[in-house]
Structure 1
Amino acid sequence: MKYLILGLIAVPCFPMKTMAQPVTYPAADSVQIAANRAPEKAIDGLTDFIFYNLHPQLNRRKIRSDETQYIKEWAAIKKVVSNDNLVYERDCGRNLNNNYEWRLSKYDSSGLGQGRNASPLSSPVLNKVADAVFYGRHPELDYRRIQPIETSLASEWLQIRRAISSLHPCY
């Protein structure tokens, strides 16, 4: 390493690698944090949770390298999850230590006292996940809107959306 000597102080001329400092997150009830600060383990865990809700027949087994459609779907889900759709929030008071954990920023509101007219599929984040999976299966649609007469496509999207539907873990 080369040094520039100024008086009695030696200053490195080239950046030195520093040891990684642990990241601390603010203590608040719910904090929106850029996904690039979320640990990869948390992003992968939420991606796995959604993917295996979509494909329960896999029994959480690892995806094989020849299962390209599953690989594409998992990657599409991860992209949505890691795209600023995470919050770091308190674990609902179930733990006396006041721990925080990574969660999706929006969940479906079904069963949360929103009234009979509330849509049970209200999460924009889960809608984006359903879009990513659906359009990954149908690249020929080029992300265009499903037309009212395309009932089989609409049914397929709704089936995907319902499979990944989840209530906020605190309710």
Structure 2
Amino acid sequence: MLIESLSIKSVSKFSMVGALAIALVLSSPNLAKAESREQAVDRLTDFLFYRVNPQLNNRKLQAGDREYSNQWRRLREAIDPRVKSVQEVCFRPAPGDTGWEFTTINGETYEQTYDLLADTIFYSRHPQRTGQPIPKSDRIGISEWSAIRREMYISNCGL
């Protein structure tokens, strides 16, 4: 009887220590697998792509989705140079902060950056209009571009 109760206690202690160790590993950001830059670019592209294409309900693109695939690819090309390390972008990163953030390039403001991303989506949907401004008389085009632009926002540096 004494032997059985000792083995149950030691198994219980072992289970508690094991559960605590697993909880610590899962909750520690430094032990989690770090996101690569390419994964960060894909994640940000997916985020904006599905915001401006809610009809897709976050479904994976299929081989027949050529227009959507083209739109995603062009958006990714526009986002790619704007993804930099946290250490490079954030004003006062905490010691040990790692990862990737979305930022502006070449002296652009965030407003200009989001306008460019909206242009990227709009003109990938309407390639015949590339390089042409949307005429003020084109209410449908202006409405579509404005709807795309409203969805263009990525928080930066934990903001």
Return the TM-score normalized by structure 2: 0.62
Q: Which amino acid aligns with 2:62?
A: R
Q: Which amino acid aligns with 1:98?
A: G
Partner of 1:145: 133
Distance 2:128 2:73 in 1: 19
2:122 equivalent among 107, 129, 134: 134
After superposition, the C-alpha distances for 1:91-121 in whole angstroms (9 at most, x for unaligned) are 98xx976322212104xxxxxxxxxxxxxx9
Work out which of the two has the higher radius of gyration on C-alpha atoms and give 1 or 2.
2
CA separation of 1:168/1:96 partners in 2, compared to 1, >3 Å: closer, same or farther?
closer
Partner of 1:50: 48
Distance 2:130 2:94 in 1: 49
After superposition, the C-alpha distances for 1:96-150 in whole angstroms (9 at most, x for unaligned) are 76322212104xxxxxxxxxxxxxx953222221111101111121321112222
Distance 1:166 1:45 in 2: 11
- Higher helix proportion: 2
Distance 1:79 1:144 in 2: 20
Partner of 1:63: 61
CA separation of 1:122/1:152 partners in 2, compared to 1, >3 Å: closer, same or farther?
farther
Partner of 2:144: 156
Gaps of at least 5 residues in structure 1 are: 1-37, 107-120
2:77 equivalent among 76, 79, 87: 79
- Higher strand proportion: 1
Aligned residues: 118
Q: Which amino acid aligns with 1:103?
A: E
Contact 1:134–1:157 (Cα < 8 Å) also in 2? yes
Please state how far the C-alpha of 1:169 moved relative to its aligned partner: 5.5
1:125 equivalent among 109, 113, 127: 113
Please state how far the C-alpha of 1:72 moved relative to its aligned partner: 1.0
CA RMSD of aligned residues (A): 2.8
Distance 2:129 2:150 in 1: 21
Q: Which amino acid aligns with 1:65?
A: A
Distance 1:138 1:46 in 2: 23
Fraction of identical pairs, as percent? 28
Contact 2:122–2:148 (Cα < 8 Å) also in 1? yes
Distance 1:87 1:124 in 2: 18
Larger mean CA deviation between 69-78 and 159-168 belongs to 159-168
Contact 2:49–2:72 (Cα < 8 Å) also in 1? yes
Contact 2:102–2:154 (Cα < 8 Å) also in 1? no
